[in-house]
Amino acid sequence: MRAPLACMTALVAFAEAQQFYITAEGYTERPQCTHAVPSPQYHFRQFSYTLNETVRYATSVPSPTTTGTYGPPYSEAVKHLTTSPVTTTWGNWLPNQTVVTATDTNDPYGQAAWSSLWLQAGLENYTTTGLYSTTVSPTPVPSSELVLPPRDYFRPTDCYNFPDDFVFGVAGSAAQVEGAMGLEGRSPTIQEKLANTTQPKNYVTNENYFLYKQDIQRLAAMGVKYYSFSIPWTRILPFVLPGSPVNEQGIQHYDDLINTVLDAGMLPIVTLHHFDSPLIFVASDNTSAHPDIGNNNAGYQNETFVDAFVNYAKIVLTHYADRVPIWVTFNEPYLYSFNFTGANNVVHAHAQVYHFYHDELNATGQMGIKFNDNFGVPRDPSNSSDVLAANRFQEIQLGLYANPIFLGEQYPDSVLNTLPGAKPLSEQDLSYIANTSDFFGIDPYTATVVSQPAGGIDDCATNGSTDNSLFPYCVVQETKNIYGWNIGYRSQSYVYITPTYLREYLSYLWNTFKKPVFVSEFGYPVFNEADKGLSDQLFDTPRSIYYLSFMSEILKSIHEDGVHVMGALAWSWADNWEFGDYAQQFGLQVVNRTTQERYFKKSFFDLVDFVGARMGS
């Protein structure tokens, strides 16, 4: 039975707006055959069993022949600092032990002072050590671990290739994989304060701090070219503020990590701040955890934040800018600079770091910032109020930072008229901040359906407060389309498989902010994966579907829509601590929490195989 013509016309219009296509017979399109197919001829033959599997191995990254240089070496770069930093070392924070043995109480930056940072964090009793206490030497990855899994029956049928300079790799963050929390001089971050009230803790995680050589070798063996990681501020500057001593052990650790990546034939990408603000900016009793910081417990709101972050970034850049081709200042700042003052501080701090990198160091790599924003798609693209709601959703999350940084334009009116304390940037500030990102980093895990609330946007924006569940977006967010269907296949968390929306999103970002788009994180936690046996966790077809469909839409975006997509980084290279949760397994490898053994998942092979087959002209 055919639908009435008017209904079909409306349905096709909606489908095109959502960027999927419906044929007259349904949405599963029949391939075009190039030759006549004869009628079947049935017959008997001698039956015999055949082996349907063929052994194929992952292609490792080749050993490097040369190493690129992107900035001056430390001996030259350090001359751009106002004062040469003093380096020192501290011990480990071992509850009920460290304080007893620390006798240098008159030294403001001594072992006793460092231990007091942990005491003020209220973390007197916890297990700070895992299986390892020193860097583990790598062992070769057995070829038996590199056998490709069986192919899925349905696979992408595109015929496009990625550009030669396409950046493909995997990502992780220190807070989620490193462990070694109170070891080798690192001081507390906001994550430890949050984790102290949740289970499981983030104290050990993947012990990547000691297993990084083996982890990097495993990634290289799989053929991964780029490895993205973050450097914790408090491991470089335990006392955080300008003028405080630099942790020599931290500097040496990341120096060796970067060299290990390069020696493996890979390239590093470094994020300076990834959800691990120093705890001294945030105190539970509305007083600072450090005497030199005022009584402000909002972290990024703190008036000392900008100068302190810029100082930290300069120290890191002077040490490593010569060997790192891509830098990210802030990861997803909207999630933790959740008010105007914090966001404004991020914008100013980012711009200063960018100018130091390019104007003072004359570095030739790329420096940028990356955002979170589950793409807000209007519930009904033909409804102007829903389109307005979607635009507002993008402005609150992205325009707050991206208008000044990428366009040199003022904060959006929706921001200035909604966020308490919001005020416009001066013309001088706009000129300084404009064009201070070489790429637009985005973590587009999924999409969100957006519409106006029953009372309208203005009522919420004008009279709203943090008590209003819709504030500050002041729009309705949901995960069902206009016909009541989920927008995609759901995961363990908020992520739905929404590849066609990704393509639309990339077009929006490229045409709005005029910079190459860098998909700096994307990934999928399969539903109930943590409760499955190992073999079932490894055969993670839903994650493969997610990655291959997203990568296919990236190719279409590049070739059919003319969008400059700089690259894509899969999150994450292994199951990790997802901020209080090990059940949301985003990883491309399973991690045994008892032994710290890693196992490659099927999706890892599928993703690397997909990209490898499409690299080159």
Taking only the tens place, the pLDDT of each residue in 244-259 is: 999 999 999 999 999 9
For 462-470, which contacts have Cβ atoms below 8 Å and span 24 or more sequence positions?
462/417, 464/418
pLDDT for 15 equals 39
pLDDT for 52 equals 76
Q: What is the mean pLDDT of the chain?
A: 88
Residue 168 sits at the vertex; the CA angle it makes with 335 and 234, to the nearest 5 degrees, is 40
Across 499-560, the runs of DSSP E, i.e. the strands, are: 517-522
User: Is the link from the previous residue into 63 a cis peptide, with omega within 30 of 0?
Assistant: no
Question: Which amino acid, 388?
Answer: L
* Residues 43-61: tens digit of each pLDDT: 999 998 987 777 878 899 9
pLDDT for 28 equals 55
Are residues 580 and 194 in contact, defined by beta-carbon separation less than 8 angstroms?
A: yes
Q: Is residue 318 pLDDT above 90, yes or no?
A: yes
Closest CA to 154 of 15, 21, 25, 29: 29
Q: Which two tokens stand for residue 428?
A: 């001088």
CB-based contacts of 526, cutoff 8 Å, min separation 6: 491, 492, 540, 542, 543, 585
N- to C-terminal Cα separation, the chain: 47
Are residues 390 and 381 in contact, defined by beta-carbon separation less than 8 angstroms?
A: no
Q: Is residue 131 pLDDT above 50, yes or no?
A: yes
Q: Which two tokens stand for residue 407?
A: 């366009």
pLDDT for 54 equals 74
Are residues 120 and 289 in contact, defined by beta-carbon separation less than 8 angstroms?
A: yes
CB-count burial class (<10 Å; 0-12, 13-18, 19+) for 37: exposed
Compute the average pLDDT of residues 442-461.
94
Q: What is the pTM of this model?
A: 0.91
Strand-pairing partners, residue 375, are 447
Q: DSSP letter string over 581-595?
A: -SSS---SEEE-TTT
Least reliable range by pLDDT among 373-377, 512-516, 524-528:
373-377
Band of pLDDT at residue 453, cut at 50, 70 and 90: very high
pLDDT for 242 equals 96
* Sign of the alpha-carbon dihedral angle for 150, 153, 159, 163: negative
Share of the chain above pLDDT 70, in %: 87
**Cβ atoms within 10 Å, residue 143:** 11
User: Is the link from the previous residue into 472 a cis peptide, with omega within 30 of 0?
Assistant: yes
pLDDT for 617 equals 54
Are residues 286 and 294 in contact, defined by beta-carbon separation less than 8 angstroms?
A: no
Tell me how far apart the alpha carbons of residues 211 and 229 are, in angstroms, rounded to a whole number. Answer: 14
Strand-pairing partners, residue 442, are 371, 519
Closest CA to 537 of 564, 494, 575: 575
CA atoms within 13 A on the CB side of 205: 31
Q: Which two tokens stand for residue 132?
A: 């390892």
Are residues 586 and 521 in contact, defined by beta-carbon separation less than 8 angstroms?
A: no
pLDDT for 303 equals 76
* Sign of the alpha-carbon dihedral angle for 235, 240, 242, 245: negative
Q: Which residue has the tokens 């090990």?
A: 582
Question: What DSSP state is assigned to residue 138?
Answer: P
Q: Which two tokens stand for residue 478?
A: 């949901």
Q: Is residue 557 pLDDT above 60, yes or no?
A: yes
Are residues 264 and 220 in contact, defined by beta-carbon separation less than 8 angstroms?
A: yes
Helix (H) or strand (E) holding 369: strand 366-372
pLDDT for 196 equals 61
* Sign of the alpha-carbon dihedral angle for 299, 304, 309, 312: negative
* Residues 275-309: tens digit of each pLDDT: 999 998 875 433 344 433 333 333 566 779 999 99
Share of the chain above pLDDT 90, in %: 72
Compute the average pLDDT of residues 477-484.
96
Are residues 509 and 440 in contact, defined by beta-carbon separation less than 8 angstroms?
A: yes
Q: Is residue 604 pLDDT above 70, yes or no?
A: yes
